[in-house]
């Protein structure tokens, strides 16, 4: 198979017949007749919108040709043709058929990290036991809507907790910057497609899935793990961990049941504050790490589309436009856009009573009226009061601002909000303008200046006009800020050794976003796979991790 890169087509190219257009381009580049091209698949499609009046699509394709050696010889020296590199994920080993019951690994948490740790372990024959504090995804969906529609928060079943983890009600963006010589990312996408994700996620440059599809996919992936011998225990919160001589002996559930285990994957996400506290009490090594705080901002999606795509705004191949912005403020703080959701909604993402937390989600179609993104400010452990006494100080800091937002919102899970024009002018908002905020259960218009630390407010006030220079209209008066965004990443790291075990607790494999080793669905899933490999190698007595 050969890979051809940099096939550049105008955006106006009809997608109805795209395969034939690409076939013609491939034949022309390779200098072969149409009959010599046996098969073509799209490997990657991206767009170049730097010149808005002439947006182009860039394709990479894989082709099978009649006489590959001769073709390769003819195009030798052509940078844009090469043999297709191998992309298959390779398992590190397989469990013996007689794996004793006592050696079954336990996976705590069934978010993207726990899901992929469990899936890979199951595919290697290790029959993992999965413990998830929240409810199965269908029940969880009802509970989550309970907060959005009826102001009722279920502390064990919400946007953060339950089958599928934090990203289930999300935009389902699947991009990652992780270096990936072992093709973990492609394996993740292939498993998603096998579970009914849109096949295009395998080749578009900014893949996304959207909430409704994610829910169905998670059910299918659970069924696959169960069919391979995995065992699921939902509504099973791990409340304690037994450690003897620096080695894990098992975990205890909230109801008191003890499950003996020598290998425990800890994939609890960044909101498992009670679990972090328990682990700290048991002496598991952890340290504070930086995260970010800020607001969600909402604009009309049409404004972002126009700014990004000019006259091609609304083109179906481009979809709803996104953005990525960074500003280095004069007070030394970095302000950046976070988890941008084109054509989506701002969601209530709290998991603790008496707190308000924002985040964003969308459906696959991304056709809601507003664009939203976090506008967040980087903070460091030295900013957390009490950091000298405890690595958990970042959690208290998050909680402080979540409670403040709850109060400012009126104490019923409504979120405090302010128009950008009023925020910049330093006066409270009293009426909405042209942008209707999407946050449910609703917003309370107010003055957000006391909802974050002063340095964060100052940095955001400086950043919004700077972002206007990149996206015309970004600091428009009527854009809405909704607070507060606090769960951008874990406030701590449960540090691990090179072999993926905890620094001081053997058999405990901290993983994913909660342990500070991932940020986002893809990187959490990939980390879950790496940890599954480490567990397998350990169980097989082959700790040859590189
Ligand atoms: P989580 O997904 O947080 O999963 C942890 C799981 O562990 C949870 O299900 C929890 O219930 C369970 N758990 C916790 N404690 C215990 C315990 N003691 N016992 C048993 N179970 C426990 N990322 C993207 O890449 N793209 C997006 O578009 C995107 N949008 C998002 C939108 C929203 C609304 C949210 C909240 C997040 C979004 N994210 C997105 C971030 C992404 O969801 C996370 O990075 C990812 O889910 C982290 O995966 P994880 O498996 O490490 O942890």
Record the tokens describing residue 515, joined without a space: 């342990």
What pLDDT was estimated at residue 544? 52
Atom 43 in ligand 1: residue holding the nearest Cα: 167
What pLDDT was estimated at residue 363? 86
Atom 14 in ligand 1: residue holding the nearest Cα: 268
Q: Is 148 in the pocket of ligand 1 (CB under 6 A)?
A: no
Record the tokens describing residue 280, joined without a space: 């700290």
Q: Is 409 in the pocket of ligand 1 (CB under 6 A)?
A: no
Nearest to 301 by CA among 376, 373, 359, 205: 373
* Rounded Cα gap, residues 130 and 11, in angstroms: 46
* Rounded Cα gap, residues 172 and 165, in angstroms: 12
Q: Is 170 in the pocket of ligand 1 (CB under 6 A)?
A: yes
**Rounded distance from Cα 191 to ligand 1 centre (Å):** 18
Q: What are phi and psi of 197, to 5 degrees?
A: -75, 155
Atom 33 in ligand 1: residue holding the nearest Cα: 170
Locus of tokens 């989506």: 344
Q: Is 346 in the pocket of ligand 1 (CB under 6 A)?
A: no
**Rounded distance from Cα 43 to ligand 1 centre (Å):** 29
What pLDDT was estimated at residue 443? 98
Q: Which of 108, 110, 111, 144 to mutate to test the pocket of ligand 1 (most atoms within 8 A of CB)?
A: 111
Q: Is 171 in the pocket of ligand 1 (CB under 6 A)?
A: yes
What pLDDT was estimated at residue 200? 93
Q: Is 268 in the pocket of ligand 1 (CB under 6 A)?
A: yes
Q: Is 132 in the pocket of ligand 1 (CB under 6 A)?
A: yes
**Mean pLDDT, each 10-residue run in order, the chain (546 residues):** 97 90 96 96 95 95 96 94 94 94 96 98 98 96 93 96 92 80 94 95 91 90 98 98 97 97 98 98 98 98 97 94 97 97 96 97 90 98 96 98 98 98 98 97 97 98 98 98 97 97 98 97 96 97 61
Atom 36 in ligand 1: residue holding the nearest Cα: 166
Ranges of beta strands (E only) in 282-369 are: 287-288, 291-300, 326-328, 334-341, 345-348, 358-361
How many other CB atoms are there within 10 angstroms of residue 116's CB atom? 30
What pLDDT was estimated at residue 252? 98
Atom of ligand 1 nearest to the CA of 114: 51
Atom of ligand 1 nearest to the CA of 341: 28
Whether the CA torsion 392, 393, 394, 397 is positive or negative: it is positive
What pLDDT was estimated at residue 545? 45
Atom of ligand 1 nearest to the CA of 134: 11
Locus of tokens 């919108």: 49
DSSP per-residue codes, 460-487:
HHHHHHHHHTTSTTTT-TT-EEEEEE--
Dihedral of the alpha carbons of 179, 181, 182, 187, in degrees to the nearest 10: 60
Atom of ligand 1 nearest to the CA of 112: 51
Nearest to 398 by CA among 337, 438, 351: 351
**Rounded distance from Cα 351 to ligand 1 centre (Å):** 12
* Rounded Cα gap, residues 536 and 124, in angstroms: 8
Q: Is 514 in the pocket of ligand 1 (CB under 6 A)?
A: yes
Q: Which of 521, 525, 529 to mutate to test the pocket of ligand 1 (most atoms within 8 A of CB)?
A: 521
Atom 45 in ligand 1: residue holding the nearest Cα: 520
**Rounded distance from Cα 269 to ligand 1 centre (Å):** 5
Coil/strand/helix, residue 82:
strand
**Rounded distance from Cα 19 to ligand 1 centre (Å):** 38
Ranges of beta strands (E only) in 267-389 are: 287-288, 291-300, 326-328, 334-341, 345-348, 358-361, 370-379
ipTM of the complex: 0.99
Q: Is 129 in the pocket of ligand 1 (CB under 6 A)?
A: no
Locus of tokens 């919102």: 409
Q: Is 166 in the pocket of ligand 1 (CB under 6 A)?
A: yes
Record the tokens describing residue 447, joined without a space: 């003055």
Give the angle 149-154-155 at the CA atoms, nearest 5°: 140
Record the tokens describing residue 324, joined without a space: 């990525």
Atom of ligand 1 nearest to the CA of 171: 28
Q: Is 112 in the pocket of ligand 1 (CB under 6 A)?
A: yes
Q: Is 516 in the pocket of ligand 1 (CB under 6 A)?
A: no
């Amino acid at each position: 198979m050969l890979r051809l890169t940099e096939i550049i087509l105008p955006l106006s190219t009809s997608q109805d017949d795209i395969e034939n257009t690409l076939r013609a381009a491939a034949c022309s580049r390779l200098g072969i007749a149409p009959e010599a091209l046996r098969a073509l698949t799209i490997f990657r499609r991206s767009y170049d919108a730097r010149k808005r009046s002439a947006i182009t699509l860039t394709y990479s394709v894989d082709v099978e040709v009649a006489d590959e050696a001769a073709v390769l010889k003819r195009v030798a020296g052509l940078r844009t043709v090469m043999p297709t590199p191998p992309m298959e994920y390779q398992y590190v080993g397989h469990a013996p058929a007689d794996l004793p019951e006592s050696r079954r690994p336990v996976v705590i948490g069934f978010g993207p990290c726990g899901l992929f740790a469990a899936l890979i372990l199951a595919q290697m024959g290790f029959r993992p036991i999965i413990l998830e504090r929240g409810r199965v995804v269908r029940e969880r969906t009802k509970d989550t809507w309970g907060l959005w529609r009826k102001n009722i928060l279920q502390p064990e079943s919400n946007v953060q907790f339950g089958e599928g983890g934090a990203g289930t009600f999300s935009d389902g963006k699947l991009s990652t910057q992780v270096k990936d010589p072992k093709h973990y990312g492609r394996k993740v996408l292939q498993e998603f497609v096998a579970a009914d994700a849109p096949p295009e996620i395998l080749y578009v440059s900014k893949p996304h899935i959207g909430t409704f599809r994610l829910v169905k996919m998670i059910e299918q992936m659970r069924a696959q793990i169960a069919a391979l011998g995995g065992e699921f225990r939902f509504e099973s919160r791990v409340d304690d961990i037994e450690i003897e001589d620096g080695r894990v002996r098992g975990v205890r559930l909230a109801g008191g049941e003890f499950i003996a285990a020598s290998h425990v994957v800890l994939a609890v996400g960044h909101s498992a504050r009670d679990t972090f506290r328990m682990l700290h009490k048991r002496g598991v090594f952890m340290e504070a790490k930086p995260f970010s705080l800020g607001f969600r901002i909402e604009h009309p999606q049409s404004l972002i589309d126009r700014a990004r795509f000019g006259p091609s705004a609304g083109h179906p191949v481009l979809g709803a436009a996104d953005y990525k912005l960074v500003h280095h403020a004069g007070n030394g703080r970095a302000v950046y856009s976070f988890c941008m959701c084109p054509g989506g909604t701002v969601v209530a993402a709290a998991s603790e009573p008496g707190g308000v937390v924002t985040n964003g989600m969308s459906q696959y179609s991304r056709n809601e009226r507003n664009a939203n993104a976090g506008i967040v400010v980087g903070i460091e452990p030295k900013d957390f009061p009490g950091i000298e006494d405890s690595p958990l100080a970042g959690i208290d800091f998050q909680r402080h601002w979540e409670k403040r937002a709850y109060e400012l919102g009126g104490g019923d899970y409504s979120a405090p909000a302010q128009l950008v024009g009023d925020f910049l002018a330093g006066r409270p908002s009293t009426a909405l303008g042209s942008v209707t905020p999407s946050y449910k259960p609703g917003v309370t218009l107010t003055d957000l200046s006391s909802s974050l630390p002063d340095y964060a407010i100052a940095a955001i006030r400086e950043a919004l006009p700077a972002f206007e220079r990149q996206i015309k209209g970004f600091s428009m008066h009527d854009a809405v800020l909704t607070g507060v965004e606090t769960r951008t990443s874990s406030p701590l790291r449960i540090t691990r050794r090179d072999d993926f075990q905890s620094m001081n607790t053997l058999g405990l494999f901290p993983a994913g976003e909660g342990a500070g080793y991932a940020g986002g669905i893809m990187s959490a899933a990939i980390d879950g796979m790496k940890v599954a490999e480490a567990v397998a190698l350990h169980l097989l007595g082959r700790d040859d991790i590189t």
